[in-house]
Structure 1
Amino acid sequence: MIFLRTLIFMLILAPTPLFATTTDSNLVARVGGIPVTSFELNRQINKIIPLRVSFHGGVSAERIKEIRQEALKDLIERAYKVKYAIDNEISGSSAKVDAQMKKIKGNFKTDAEYEKAVAVETETALRASLYRQILATAAEDLAVTSKVLVSDEEVAKYYAANKHIFFMPKQFRASHILIKVDPSSNDAERAALKKKAEEILARAKKGEDFFNLAYYNSDDRTKYVGGDLGMFHAGQTEKPFEEALLKLKVGGISDLVWTRYGYHIIKLTQVNEPRQLSFDEVKLKIKSTLENKRRKKVYAEWISSLKQKYKVELLVQ
């Protein structure tokens, strides 16, 4: 049985359609015999560009060069994982390859468009590339993911040692009406806007519906939700705004409050006093944090060991 599995993986590395459909002219690197093709490199570059370049900005030649190096590094790292998978007899699912090929083909309107798109690389080479990605993922699952386990006891211990971190500061919920004042406005214009704000304030204090007052009079985009600012905590608003809030009781309406934006009329709608978050509230977040930290460590050690074990051959600089 062991001999049979070994034979299967030897055949994968032999000149079969799965790994050996590309010529040397289409290779940019090899890692222990695992190919990295120019087609894969171009695909990886195209994946990275939207993440590294502003939508409205151009892409300089220097930036493209940096992205190309990043893409090549990613693919070499993937090849390390594929080599690890083969050496450790980790197999991939051909059904997953079929599903991905079907998905790719579905992006084209006609079979002719699809065939034209894959003609240079060839469909077989594309399948091989997809299979290498599946192998790399399977290898990482075994070598890293399976070892990133955080027990409930570790989570509880972390919470006990770092309880002070999990503290919810005082929170407010408020609505406001903003009468915006342009910094370049003159005294007469400011006086007129202040008078408008005072008239709205008088209506609010007489009990007129605050939602409607905000909707029809506020210059802030929150007007469409009746001026509702949602929940926020101390320190998140302008100092005069917060000082006015602290003087209010729930349901209370402030006098006019001046900030750099203009005149505000504030209604306090909710207050949550500061409190310690319970273990049940934060245990999932703690577990995720610990798992991510451990994963980075295990992953770095694994990749480092692969770099020492497998030779990289760069065919194109």
Structure 2
Amino acid sequence: MEYLDFEQPIKELKEQYEKACNIGEESEVDVTATCKQIEKKLSEKKKEIYKNLTPWQRVQLSRHPNRPYTLDYINGICGDTFLELHGDRNVRDDKAMIGGLGKIDEQSYMFIGQQKGFNTKTRQYRNFGMANPEGYRKALRLMKSAEKFGLPVVTLVDTPGAYPGLEAEERGQGEAIARNILEMTRLKVPIIVVIIGEGASGGALGIGVGDRVMMLENTWYSVISPESCSSILWRSWEYKETAAEALKLTAADMKKQKLIDSIIKEPLGGAHSNREEAFEKVKKSIIKAFDEIKNLSPEELVEKRMEKYLNMGVFKG
């Protein structure tokens, strides 16, 4: 297990607990009381730290190297029913954007999401979760297939942004994202969006338009990352914590601004601390969201979706 800077007190207490337990096992000394005391301190420290996280600390948790990614959630939710589909039928198969058919209970869904890697080799293979235009075009192809067969769409957002390379721009990165946003507003099947990690810029919006938009507790959703914002405003990354606070990018901020519909609580310590619990919570949230909108007609779905997004950013004086 890797620990972030603000998690160091937890790491120290865990090490103390393990040492005390080892002493008890290796000798005849009764350390039960000591172990219980340390365990209690550990539990209290966890609650103290994770209940008072700053926006920047939540950004750090959303990028935790042990945090589950899109395929982890899909496999955890669907089991062996998931069938991955490939290619945009135009250029190539973008490994940063994955999608396919899967079942939750007896209901089929089209799952789409950005996929990051867990080590150097897979991060390069997945292009760090930054999709090219063909990734967004693959996503749109799968959404259109879902519409054709009357299947609800679930998108899992986790990207530091769309790939900004020259070749991506040459192949129409901006157009691909804009096309997805347009087509998603008028797709005639339910769309459920879950932010599972980083929701950065247009790269997130390219699969982020939905009837129900949910965020895991320790994720962020913003037009720009705190580091990039800091480098633009202050010409340095030193003010990333200030930028994270000012951007109002946490799940709580987004819910307050009515830009998302609900927040999915994570296990204490983050989704990576108890993956099975995180998967189950996301699964239940998807089922609940689908139950709320499954009986709407295609016309009602589109009308309500358009109304939802047209109302964003409207303030009455």
TM-score by length of 1: 0.21
TM-score by length of 2: 0.21
Q: Determine which structure has greater relative contact order: mean sequence separation of CA pairs < 8 Å that are 6+ residues apart, divided by chain length.
A: 1
- The structure carrying a bigger helix percent of its residues is 1
